[in-house]
Amino acid sequence: MASRETLLTTDVHEAAALIRRGELVAFPTETVYGLGADAFNPEAVRKIFEAKGRPLDNPLIVHIVHLDQLAHLVRDVPEAARRFMERFFPGPLTLVLPRHPDVPDEVTAGLPTVGVRMPRHPVAQAFLEACGTPVAAPSANRSGRPSPTRWEAVYADLNGRIACILQGDRSDMGLESTVVDCTGSEPVVLRAGAVPLEALREVVPETRLVGDETSLKARSPGTRYRHYAPQARVVLVDHPDEAVPDPRHAYIGLTPPAHPEAFGACCVCPDVETYAYELFDFFRRCDAQNCTRIYAQRVPHTGLGLALMDRLERAAS
C-alpha cells in the first residue's frame, strides 16, 4: 500500500511510466475517473483491490486504445460485438467477451470472460497510447463510494493509496459505461450505463436486459455489491412534496421543491442527462456538507433513465 503523497500531473508520459513500473494511476475518461494498472501485471492489478478495498471477486474492465490489442485479451470477437464496436468504439460501452488465457485471473475474478472498452476521452486515449499496454481499471474511488467525476474526488478518496492522479477536466457523462455480454446467442446488458438500451437495439435488435441470471451478473462490475452510495441516507421520491425540508437534508431531481432554500443542498436538473451528469458530484457535495438525508426524485426507466435509476436504487439500498 502506497503511503507517500500521491503525485498530481497533467503529463500522460509521466503517468504512463508509472503504469509500466507496476504502479497505480487514476486517469480521466468520458464516464468517470478510472484507477488503472497494467492488465498483464498481476501484482499491480492486486494493488487496485487493496487501494479501493474492493472485493476480489469483482472483475475489472480492461481499457484499450487500438482494436489490435484485442488479440491479447480475447479468444474471439462474436459478430454482435463487432457490430457494437463499429458503432460505439471509442465510447462508453464495455463488451464482455471470451477471455484469452494470457489475461490474469486477478483481472477477471477467475471468470472465463473479460470486459473490454475503448474510451473516447482524449486524455485517456493519449495516456493509454503512452502506456503501450491494456490497462485494467475500475472507478477511482474507495469501494462503495460515489464514482469520481473530478480528480479532486479521487484525491479525497485515494491520496496516499495510489502513485499518481492524471489530472483532467470533469468527466462529461457522469455515469459509468454500459456493460454488454456478447458471449451468448443474444447480447445481454449486465449493467445499464451511458449507452442506452434503445441505442444498442438499433444495432442488434435482439439485445436484452439481464434477468435473474446470477452467473451472468457476476461477469460485470457494479452489480453484486452496494455501490455509488454517499454517507447520507438516500431516499427515493416520486415528487419533491415527499421530501422533508431541513438544513441537514438535500434534494436532487427534475421537479423543483416548493422551498428549495429550506434544504442544505438542492439540485434541480432540466433533463435526465443533466441529472445523470450531476448525481455523483452532488452526492459528494452533500457529504462535504454533512447532510444526513438526500431525497432523489425517480425518473422513468427509459433511455438514460434506466442507468440513472440503477445507480439511485443501489445508493438507496
Please name each of the domains of the chain with its CATH number: 7-217 (3.90.870.10), 233-316 (3.40.50.11030)
- For residue 133, which amino acid is it? T
Scanning the structure block, which residue is given the C-alpha cell 500521491?
6
CB atoms within 10 A of CB 91: 20
Q: What is d(CA 103, CA 94) in angstroms, rounded to the nearest whole number?
A: 17
- For 23-66, what is each residue's pLDDT tens digit? 999 999 999 999 999 999 999 999 999 999 999 999 999 999 99
pLDDT in the model for residue 22? 98
- What pLDDT score does 219 carry? 78
Angstrom distance (rounded) from CA 197 to CA 13: 36
Q: 503501450: which residue's cell? A: 132
1 has pLDDT over 60: no
- pLDDT classification of 208: cutoffs 50, 70, 90: very high
Q: What is the pLDDT of residue 3?
A: 62
pLDDT at 225 over 60: no
Instruction: With a cut of 90, say whether residue 213 has pLDDT above it.
Output: no
CA atoms of 246 and 293, how far apart (whole Å): 9
At residue 191 the predicted structure's pLDDT band, cuts being 50, 70 and 90, is very high
Indicate the pLDDT class of residue 222, thresholds 50, 70 and 90.
Answer: low
Residue 212 is predicted with a pLDDT of 76
95's enclosing H/E stretch is strand 93-98
pLDDT at 317: 86
Q: What is the mean pLDDT of residues 259-285?
A: 97
Answer whether 16's CB lies under 8 Å from 130's CB.
yes
Contact call for residues 45 and 37 (beta carbons, < 8 A): yes
Annotated binding site: 31, 54, 58, 63, 113, 117, 137, 139, 147, 177, 191, 228
pLDDT of residue 68: 97
Question: Would you state the pLDDT for residue 215?
Answer: 72
Task: Name, in order, each residue with C-beta under 8 angstroms of 122's C-beta and a sequence gap of 6 or more.
Answer: none
Tell me how far apart the alpha carbons of residues 228 and 278 are, in angstroms, rounded to a whole number.
13
Q: Distance between CA 263 and CA 243 in Å, rounded?
A: 10
Residues marked as binding for ATP?
54, 58, 63, 113, 139, 147, 191, 228
Q: Is 79 helix (H, G, I), strand (E, B) or coil?
A: helix
Please tell me the total number of residues recorded for the chain in this structure.
Answer: 317
Q: Tell whether the torsion through CA atoms of 30, 31, 32 and 38 is positive or negative.
A: negative
Binding residue ranges for L-threonine: 31, 117, 137, 177
Q: Alpha-carbon distance 19 to 7, whole Å?
A: 13
- Coil vs helix vs strand at 111: coil
Task: Report which DSSP code applies to 299.
Answer: -
Query: Would you tell me how many other CB atoms lie within 10 Å of the CB of residue 280?
Result: 27
- Average confidence score pLDDT of the chain: 95
- The Cα 140–Cα 48 span in angstroms is 9
pLDDT tens, residue by residue, 136-177: 999 999 998 999 999 999 999 999 999 999 999 999 999 999
pTM comes to: 0.94
CA–CA distance, 294 with 264 (Å, rounded to integer):
10
From 159-163, 208-212, 259-263, 288-292, the region with the lowest mean pLDDT: 208-212
CB 19 within 8 A of CB 25: yes
Q: Is the pLDDT of residue 303 over 70?
A: yes
pLDDT band at 10 (very low <50, low <70, confident <90, very high): very high
- State what percent of residues in the chain have pLDDT above 70: 97
